[in-house]
Structure 1
Amino acid sequence: MPADNYRAFMDLGKEAGFTGSELTKWAKEQVDDLAKQEKEERLEWRNYEAKQRRYEEEQRRYEEEREEWRRQHKLTLKEKELELKKVREESGEAMAIQQASNPTPAAPNAPISSINSLVPKWTEEELEAWLGEIEALFKNYNTTETKRALVLTKHMEGKAKAALCSLEKSQRGYMLEVHRVIIKACEITPEKW
């Protein structure tokens, strides 16, 4: 092929008016330039192919990593779903145990006996919290003033019960009066209340 190129450049040089050593030199330079250009093109092509292979390799690795991430993500989701299911089952069991151990809550306007079973244990040291729980219970079950007073009277002890005994029977049916006596007996200030 280089010999064919040399002859072609010799013919071209003759047409251009080159002769003798000048023609030979020009044809040789043209052949060398062409060879150099072809060599650069081959090098560029190899570089392009190498870059293409690296790109394809990176794409393959990326796809593998993405697939691995998806697989891990699915496993993590499955683990979390199983964990959530386990927690739900455990909480369901706990609720079933709690429902079995606790009496059924009284319905609104329920008899005093069913409300009495839900009243927390009296503690004079934590009177404010106890009264708060009692108020929430009363609101939840829509109890009357008379029922509220009777429930409180049944569950109190100590100073508060002694103070209630000082009330007349007619006054014991009024929740506000019972509260006033309890607060006074246990020395609870309005700010503290």
Structure 2
Amino acid sequence: MATDNYRAFMDLGKEAGLMGPELTKWVKEQLDDLAKQKKEERLERWNYEVEQRRYEEEKRRYEVEQRPLEDAREEQRRQQELALKESSQALKKSELALKEKELELEIQQASNTTPVAPNGPISSINSLVPKWIEEESEAWLEEIEALFENYNTIEIERALVLAKNMEGKAKAALSSLEKSQRGDMLEVRRVITKAYEITPENWRQQFRGLAKEVNWS
């Protein structure tokens, strides 16, 4: 490589009209400048590599130092979210319990002001009403509507039967209605559907799931 550079500079010098000692001196100067330039480039590259290694080392050290802090912050955030979720659930349960208590009080007041025969429609229907099961709310509503129709009940009687036999979200949904609407089965169905998000497709899926469990043999 040095020989190639020397020949190249010699040719350039001759083309420029240099000869003898003057040519030799010029070539030497060019070779020295080239060597100096390469040395500076190597030094610059070495400095860059040193800085890059230092940066990577500092980055790794920072990550090692920060990781426990980040993990602690993430755990704190997760605990806060969990506490908020539990608090929200507890609040919903409290609200549900309060609505159920209010409804029970209203039922008691209505029973005290509404004459109900011991062997009348309400007593007969209550003895026939199946246990409330949230997953079978649609079938439960169908069955109790049939009972209401068979016994030719009035709205106050329907409201008392529904309130006595419903549980959970259904009972809370019923309590959200105005008193005058609690015996209106269209309104009752509306709030129950909203509370449990009952759709025709969900009902079909539930029916198909129950059908698979039945032993037809």
Using the size of structure 2 for normalisation, the TM-score is 0.35
Which has more helix, going by share of residues? 2
Task: Answer 1 or 2: higher relative contact order, Cα 8 Å, separation at least 6.
Answer: 2
Q: Which has the larger radius of gyration?
A: 1
Query: When the two structures are superposed, what TM-score results if normalisation uses the length of structure 1?
Result: 0.38
